[in-house]
Amino acid sequence: MNKSLLATEQISEAHRDLETRSTPQVVQALVDDQLHAVEAVQRAAPQIVRAVERAAERMLEGGRLIYVGAGTSGRLGQLDASELPPTFSWPPERALACIAGGPEALWRAVEGAEDDFEAGRRDVLALQATSSDVIIGIAASGTTPYPLGAFAAAREVGALTIGIANNPETPIVQQSEVGIVLDTGPEVISGSTRLKAGTAQKIALNTFSSTLMVRLGKVYGNLMVDVQATNAKLLARAVRLTVAATGATEAEARAALERCGYRVKTAIVMLEKNLGAEAAQALLDEVDGNVRRALGS
């Protein structure tokens, strides 16, 4: 595909005089343009729904989320993967990321790495991907060889492929089982897809993974009840969440949390069902950690 035809590579005619504008005007132009990122994700909502529903099936089989991308897209994939364990107690070995050029590329550009199709294929196969896994390929252009190589590996093992791109009718979309098109158009600074294209990717990834966690029982109501309370801020949050879920006093919530190792779900069931920590955890285990089912409501 001719990259010069891609919308993300086009020159924004509305911003040809950008460097002549005042600082407030440049800031306003960049901020205003970000609104198009939100609009692009809104248009892609039905595609995100399909991606969540298909991915949930694989996760219930014990599968993994494997994010693959280059440059900004790869870093955003790594970010989404790294945030799932502390936010939802998702096992870290089930949220992985491959970035073109390897870990060094998280901090500095590795020239030419994104063009290595075989590296994308090798990196996914090195993770011993299976048919239960979900490979999420991310590329603003939609043409990047590295994630396309990852898709080739995914097809070899029968893994689900989800493609996220900022240009329609591109290989990342066409070669995935579920394509998510975030059509953000030209950038204020032409070609710099770390701007609204990257913003749209971040919103889409947040939406996809958070909805997936909701479907997998990692949320009770709208409370983040699977949080890992690993520091003072999160310990305090665990108390607030337990109080919000049960109506208990802060002292009661803290006492329950202390008895169960600060597992919010367990504390909620303890307080609502008047159970000890072991019995509450056993009840949760019977219903795959779903608080509402454990409470019988």
Q: Let me know if 177 is a catalytic residue.
A: no
Which is the catalytic residue, given 114, 169, 177, 286?
114
Distances (CA, A) of 229 to 171, 208, 241, 247: 41, 24, 11, 20
> Cα–Cα distance between 259 and 268 in angstroms, integer?
12
Answer yes or no: are the C-beta atoms of 70 and 147 closer than 8 Å.
Answer: yes
Contacts of 109 (CB under 8 A, 6+ apart): 71, 101
169 touches 175 (CB < 8 A): no
Q: How far is CA 224 from CA 95, 214, 267, in A?
A: 18, 9, 13
Judge whether 250 counts as a catalytic residue.
Answer: no
- Listed in sequence order, the residues at least 6 apart from 205 whose beta carbon sits closer than 8 Å to its beta carbon are 67, 76, 77, 79, 80, 136, 138, 164
Q: Which residue of the set 83, 111, 252, 278 is catalytic?
A: 83
3-state secondary structure of 237: helix
**Catalytic site positions:** 83, 114
